[in-house]
Structure 1
């Protein structure tokens, strides 16, 4: 989770040399700011000892996948069959913990598990950046977002001082999200809870704490127990009415516009709903209710909220997206991405481990394949490139 980490403007920074000088000067000011928030100088000095800026934070800030990746690609890896199988295994393995969180906060276990799966692949991808380093880099070298990063850095120091999570265990994303369900530090301070009864709130090494805290987040975000997040619908050809998560309208108003469930049956659900068309008028459409908004508040992106919602449905045994995405080059699942990487390696490309994570090396290799088959060089892992590799044409 990035908890309301929205799309930021491009961040302007100075040269590397001046950035280093600015960073050290900034740390001196942060020491006073942290002290004003109750962080002892001893805690600050221990945590910041030897910390250097990490410019990968600035790069990552300008390349958030929720806002730059086509929705079908984003969902292709987060709500594939492999993720569903893993999620169902987690539902069985942690049944008692999920049942307790569900009873305590009223948020169903499938949604809690879906957040866990999307946020960290059930704990396998929790981020590798030391929080203090990432957040101090943002606080000192990202002037347009320094208030956000400074606040999260001080919150991190408060967590360290309280002793709930050991400093050496605080690794996460460029924006400070950490643990199984990726709370940013300020959200941790507000909403993390003890789920295993040991008196601590440890989202890193305690799965019960992480899952109960996620349920608490959703509850505080307005989750309605027993209600649906929404469902896929059919929109009449040539529809020109309103779209978007907000403003919401009564279900009857959408029905009056000729909208029906995807299977053709009448719309259902209480309360107002919004009509979401994340790929435009030619793609799948969804009627979304208040519980969708709770998922949206976890990260502030429709692609993210839809991933949570659709994965929770798949974990319940419901179908995924049934409408067709407006693309002639469908996305790849994680297993297909691993297959693509293995084929690239067989052709002599260095893409690292074939793990399904598409980084700079894989994208560079894909661009070469795209050039050979007459495609625009985007570096995107799609079916066309995979088919070309499998056919032996390249």
Structure 2
């Protein structure tokens, strides 16, 4: 018989049921085992028992985090999803932010070989240019998901550990950190591991500050895309014209590594909606966007896949791409 910890990690303790529907005693027993495991992991990284206990005591369970995690915006169909992000208000805010930081954006785009509009689009989609960075205490969000959300507890427990390391490295006050329900923070909503690995001190003031410094945020978003393989001036996604739905055996992309080539996808019944010179041997994927009347399909290329390294949802990636195109068009027209 597996131990309680093993059972939890295998996801067999009613992972789809609300926390309130489970036995409080069982939940706390499982959480205690996971906290013990976390303690051992952090101790191996050089933290003292006092530091670990103090860090854990700063976190609290937050049911609102669980509720938000189980009802993400990305669960909406495309026709309900994109109006949330592709708005005139966000576009005007993006153009203003771009103008205010024109030199920084240009420097980041050149240094990291990333299109400037994608940098601006990410910060706009994530936090409306710093206007909405999240109101959840980051430590509470990661504590809750790491110990009380079995489907992804292992991932979020690692992020909780990264948060402790990040706070020590950057001198952050744990009690003051606010972010998303998933523990992301700052202008670009970096989770702790991404903050540690991809943040850059882009204004050379001795600190990687993604919480209050838009210059560091711009450079860090650009670095994130660079490190994940973005190629400037390369196509991202192209609409497809289909005559009778998605031909079999093609499948819509659902998070897996790219295994199709363009030549595997294009056919007489699924062709490019617009003429473009394209290397048909390059990696590609199929995107489905659910409109009110019917689905539309797009050809996603390597740069589209790179956007999904920021957020795995194809809807998110498409919103970022389409917003970036709006930004570029309006910016170039100025």
The two structures have a TM-score, normalised by structure 1, of: 0.70
User: Are residue 62 (structure 1) and residue 70 (structure 2) matched?
Assistant: yes
Q: Tell me if the contact between 1:39 and 1:157 (Cα under 8 Å) persists in the aligned partners.
A: no
Match of 1:269 in 2: 278
Instruction: Tell me the matched-pair count.
Output: 306
Residue in 1 that maps onto 2:4: none
Shift of 1:303: 0.5
Matched, 1:312 2:321: no
**1:272, CA displacement in angstroms?**
4.0
Partner residue in 2 for 1:230: 237
Structure 1 pair 21/289, CA: closer, same or farther in 2 (3 Å)? closer
- The Cα shift of 1:163 comes to 2.6
Q: Summarize the Cα distance change of 1:31–1:233 in structure 2 as closer, same or farther, 3 Å threshold.
A: same
Determine the C-alpha separation between the residues in 2 that align with 1:147 and 1:272: 31
- 2:58 is aligned with 1:53: no
Given the alignment of the two structures, is residue 10 of structure 1 paired with residue 16 of structure 2, yes or no? yes
Q: Distance in 2 between matches of 1:103 and 1:160?
A: 30
The structure 1 residue matched to 2:89, chosen from 82, 91, 97, is 82
SS at match of 1:87: helix
1:247-304 CA distance string (max 9 Å, x none):
432369626546233xxx4233333433322228933332221100000111111101
1:278 paired to 2:289:
yes
Offset, 1:208:
1.6
Q: Which stretch has the larger CA shift, 252-261 or 156-165?
A: 252-261
Displacement, 1:164?
Answer: 4.6
Q: TM-score, normalised by structure 2?
A: 0.81
Q: Distance in 2 between matches of 1:213 and 1:50?
A: 28
The alpha-carbon deviation at position 152 of structure 1 amounts to: 0.7
Correspondence 1:1-394 to 2 at 5 A: 10=16, 13=19, 14-16=22-24, 19=27, 27=35, 30-49=38-57, 51-66=59-74, 68-237=75-244, 240-241=247-248, 242-245=250-253, 246-250=258-262, 254=266, 256-257=268-269, 259-261=271-273, 265-270=274-279, 271-279=282-290, 282-317=294-329
Alignment RMSD: 2.7
- C-alpha separation between the residues in 2 aligned to 1:243 and 1:27? 40
Cα distance in structure 1, aligned partners of 2:17 and 2:159: 18
TM-aligned CA deviation for residue 47 of structure 1: 3.5
Distance 2:148 2:246 in 1: 46
Q: Is the 8 A contact 1:171 1:178 kept in 2?
A: yes
Partners of 1:287 and 1:295 in 2: how far apart? Answer: 14
Counterparts in 2 of 1:243 and 1:52: CA distance versus 1, 3 Å: closer
Deviation at 1:197, TM superposition (A): 0.7
Structure 2 segments unaligned to the other structure (5+ residues):
1-14
Contact 2:119 2:222 (8 Å CA) reproduced: yes
> Deviation of residue 112 (structure 1)?
0.6
| Mapped partners of 1:25, 1:289: distance in 2 | 43
Q: Residue by residue, what CA displacement relative to the aligned partner does 1:289-324 show, whole Å, maximum 9, x if unpaired?
A: 110000011111110110111111111118xxxxxx
SS where residue 196 of structure 1 aligns? coil
SS at match of 2:289: coil
Is residue 230–residue 289 contact of structure 1 (8 Å, CA) maintained in 2? Answer: yes
